[in-house]
Structure 1
Amino acid sequence: MLTRVVEGPRRVVREIRAAAPLLRELAAPTTVRGPWLAAALHAAPAPVPRVRHRAVVVEAHRQGRPAGLALLSSRVEVRRGRPVTVFRLLGDPGPAGPPGVAPRRLPVADPDVAVHLADGVADLLATTRGRWQLHLTGLPLGDPVLAALGARLGTGAVFQTSRSRSLVDSLDTVGPVLRSTRPADLERWLPTFLDHRPAGARRADLRALARVHAAAGSLEHAVVLDGGRPRAGLLTVLDGASRRPWWGFGQPGGAATAPGQPWVALAASGRGRQSSS
């Protein structure tokens, strides 16, 4: 197995595209697919410190398709008066996807690849200049790369598990529902949905994501009207055979929730290579 690190938005996008067959095989959620991650590469709150994007890639041979992929972003932040390079998974933080399903992935073809990918991430941390912190969040319970990475990092790695909440499509209990996947129909109601967007989400980011997925036929919008005006609404991502309610307003945006999948996070810190100065 070969492990390499590529850097820069364009090169990272190429690796995302090359990993599409692997992501399909693993039934990865929408938030790990190309359109969503491409938007994440350009979505960052202002003012923006310099963010570096990297892909740690494991492949069977050169010019082969990725067998494992870790998409990371990093930036230097000041913690307790000292500069620290903070690593996160690409898309975190960023536009929130459909709740209930772990939104991030470290896709691998098999357990052997998982070990190689964990080694690649650990080696990247070891070659980082100065202090570093690692925050990998929103991953599914039992992720093999996370387990291997935790073993590699040792006692400095801390795992945390939480259970998410998912939205439930209960619009039919509110009144007659208008449903459509047509992009032209979405434009009529999109401003109202954006007015009720999830807390902390940027309007421009969500608008772009909604339009991209609507154009691909993978976004359903549904509204209940009262006197011609929307009383309640819900956006749902059509993820293959799965329907994943994304966000809404009225009843589906509030009380209509259910337990989601457990998520796991890994936090670690350390010191990489020392400055030559």
Structure 2
Amino acid sequence: MRHPPSTTAAPDGTAVGGCGVPGAVWSDDRMTGPRRDTRVAGGRAAVAREIRAAAGLARDVRAPLTASAPWLTAVLSVQAAHRRPRLLPAAVVVEARPGRPDAIALLALATAGPVVTATLLGDGLPVPGGRPAARLPARDDDAAARLAAGVLGLLTSCRRPWRLRLAGLPLGDPTVRALARLRPDAVVASRRSHRLVDDLGTRPGRVVRSRDPGAVDAALPALLAGVRDARARDLVRAAARLHAAAGRVEVAVLTAGGRERAGLLTLVDGEDRSPWHGWGDGLREEPGAPLVGVSVGGRGRVARAVLDGAAALLPVSPRRGSG
């Protein structure tokens, strides 16, 4: 795929992990529909601004709490606090006018090693199961198509081989469909999710439920005791405290025989309840909704130029030359 035309470089000219130019703006005249620009922002501070600017878009497309500004801001903070794996945040934004995005892809670029790997921001961290927790918000199919082109434009500008692996998205995601149209070699696959079921009330003992931030904080040590991964532990702690302050986390503690037997954190969004993270008796898993993902890779800008140059020096067979 060619990089979209009419590209204007950012003043600082710095790259996102060797890919693209933060602040670069382009318009792809090959696409129909309203005029929209696509740009790339890189780095924690810049991506945090894009997350805040996209809060209205997330509400409009009814994104879950795990794809909204508070959660994603917590993810940024957690990733910045851990050196390994080193993940560089990047945002690909489609907009008709500044400050009002029509589509956005929030990515994390793993740049260690010979291949740059791009995943969705927060990929691999604990989220409620049972339904898609990630989003590529887009107002319409045109915005989704431009977003797909922008993500590929960022990655095909890499100086190294690259791969894109997006997971945890809803079936029928329009950006995934657009990526598959632009790159027929892309692999689109679905898998069945699993949801945590709250059966604490069926167990012997007393269950106390609360949305009080103090109660949530008091329960966190027991809830996090069995989490070995430091990034996951920090994300659960940070996101729980942040959402508890807004009344969007409930903690449930099961006590029997004078001892705590189980604990559970549940995300609450209006009438919607999503059991998220827990331990002990009274919790089980059951199949949930299907999730879709897409993966595709490329050689990178420098590797492609070297390979193409070498191919030009190879002798041409008589049969091929006569064609």
Further displaced range: 212-221 or 39-48: 39-48
SS at match of 1:192: helix
**How far did residue 13 of structure 1 move?**
0.7
Larger Rg: 2
| Partner residue, 1:168 | 197
1:207 aligns with 2:242: no
**How far did residue 150 of structure 1 move?**
1.4
| Partner residue, 1:246 | 276
| Partner residue, 1:59 | 95
Task: Decide whether the 8 Å contact of 2:43 with 2:90 is kept in 1.
Answer: yes
**How far did residue 200 of structure 1 move?**
7.3
- TM-score normalized with structure 1 length: 0.90
Measured against aligned partners, the alpha-carbon deviations of 1:60-98 in whole angstroms (never above 9, x if no partner) come to 12x2411100011112243xxxx11111111113x3111
1:19 aligns with 2:54: yes
**One-letter amino acid of the counterpart of residue 92, structure 1:** D
Task: Decide whether the 8 Å contact of 1:67 with 1:108 is kept in 2.
Answer: yes
SS at match of 2:108: strand
SS at match of 1:28: coil
Distance, in Å, in 1 between the alignment partners of 2:66 and 2:242 is 13
Structure 2 unaligned runs (5+)?
1-35, 307-323
Structure 1 unaligned runs (5+)?
none
Distance, in Å, in 1 between the alignment partners of 2:270 and 2:135 is 17
Distance, in Å, in 2 between the alignment partners of 1:201 and 1:100 is 22
Aligned residues: 268
Task: Decide whether the 8 Å contact of 1:167 with 1:252 is kept in 2.
Answer: no
**How far did residue 205 of structure 1 move?**
2.6
**One-letter amino acid of the counterpart of residue 120, structure 2:** L
**One-letter amino acid of the counterpart of residue 260, structure 1:** G
Go from structure 1 to structure 2 and tell me whether the alpha carbon gap of 1:58 and 1:268 turns closer, same or farther (over 3 Å shift). same
Q: How does 1:221-240 map to 2 (within 5 A)?
A: 221-240=251-270
| Partner residue, 1:140 | 170
Structure number with the higher strand fraction is 1
**How far did residue 239 of structure 1 move?**
2.0
Task: Decide whether the 8 Å contact of 1:96 with 1:201 is kept in 2.
Answer: no
Distance, in Å, in 2 between the alignment partners of 1:190 and 1:242 is 22
Flag the structure with more relative contact order, 1 or 2, with Cα contacts below 8 A and sequence separation at least 6.
1
Task: Decide whether the 8 Å contact of 1:128 with 1:272 is kept in 2.
Answer: yes
Task: Decide whether the 8 Å contact of 2:202 with 2:282 is kept in 1.
Answer: no
Percent identity over the alignment?
46
| Partner residue, 2:22 | none
- TM-score normalized with structure 2 length: 0.78
SS at match of 2:158: coil
> Which one of 74, 80, 89 corresponds to residue 120 of structure 2?
89
> Which one of 35, 43, 49 corresponds to residue 8 of structure 1?
43
| Partner residue, 1:266 | 294
Go from structure 1 to structure 2 and tell me whether the alpha carbon gap of 1:173 and 1:223 turns closer, same or farther (over 3 Å shift). same
| Partner residue, 1:39 | 74
Measured against aligned partners, the alpha-carbon deviations of 1:7-60 in whole angstroms (never above 9, x if no partner) come to 111111111111111111211111111121112113248552543211100111
Go from structure 1 to structure 2 and tell me whether the alpha carbon gap of 1:226 and 1:105 turns closer, same or farther (over 3 Å shift). same
Go from structure 1 to structure 2 and tell me whether the alpha carbon gap of 1:133 and 1:215 turns closer, same or farther (over 3 Å shift). same
Go from structure 1 to structure 2 and tell me whether the alpha carbon gap of 1:228 and 1:201 turns closer, same or farther (over 3 Å shift). farther
SS at match of 2:47: helix
**How far did residue 199 of structure 1 move?**
6.7
RMSD: 2.0
Distance, in Å, in 2 between the alignment partners of 1:20 and 1:132 is 29
Distance, in Å, in 2 between the alignment partners of 1:15 and 1:252 is 40
**One-letter amino acid of the counterpart of residue 78, structure 2:** A
Task: Decide whether the 8 Å contact of 1:198 with 1:247 is kept in 2.
Answer: no
SS at match of 1:60: strand
